[in-house]
Structure 1
Amino acid sequence: MVWCGFNKKKVHRLCKELNVLRLQRIVKPKYPRKIVQNRDITNSNSLWEVDIKYGYIHGEDRFFYIASFLDVYDRNIVEYHLKPQIKMPV
């Protein structure tokens, strides 16, 4: 193996001078933020979303649920409830 003494900064600079660099790719978000399209949200507390998630407690061998109420305008959590079970109204 032959050591030539170039680090990545020097290689990048030389490639840039020779115009052999490729354009850098545009990183797209995996999950684009979807805002409600059919409503005009102009201030806080005009529209909320509910996000329900669950987790597992290993030491107690049981699940728990967390329901978060999000304000769509500023994406803050307004309220949340943490319970061992969630009963949906009929």
Structure 2
Amino acid sequence: MLDDVIRKGRLLDLYGALLTEKQRQCVHLYYNQDWSLREIGEALSVSRQGVYDMLHRSVQALEEYEKQLHLLAKNEKITLS
């Protein structure tokens, strides 16, 4: 679980600029600041379901960027060397 949260945060660091501002804020608040869906929804003026959907789509996009570019894998390989 914690590894997954750390991975999402690192993906956001690497590929966050490729997301929209609202997507970036949503992922940051959820994974880095540990806000609830309700809190994020209130801050971004989006329903709780809208936040859930945005998080799901944003994380899918981040994972797709990693699948194509492999920046996180390369970074980890360098760090372990």
What TM-score results when the alignment is normalised by the length of structure 1? 0.16
Larger radius of gyration: 1
Q: Which has the higher contact order (CA 8 A, sep 6+)?
A: 2
Larger strand fraction of residues? 1
**TM-score (structure 2 length as normaliser):** 0.18
Select the structure that is richer in helix. Answer: 2
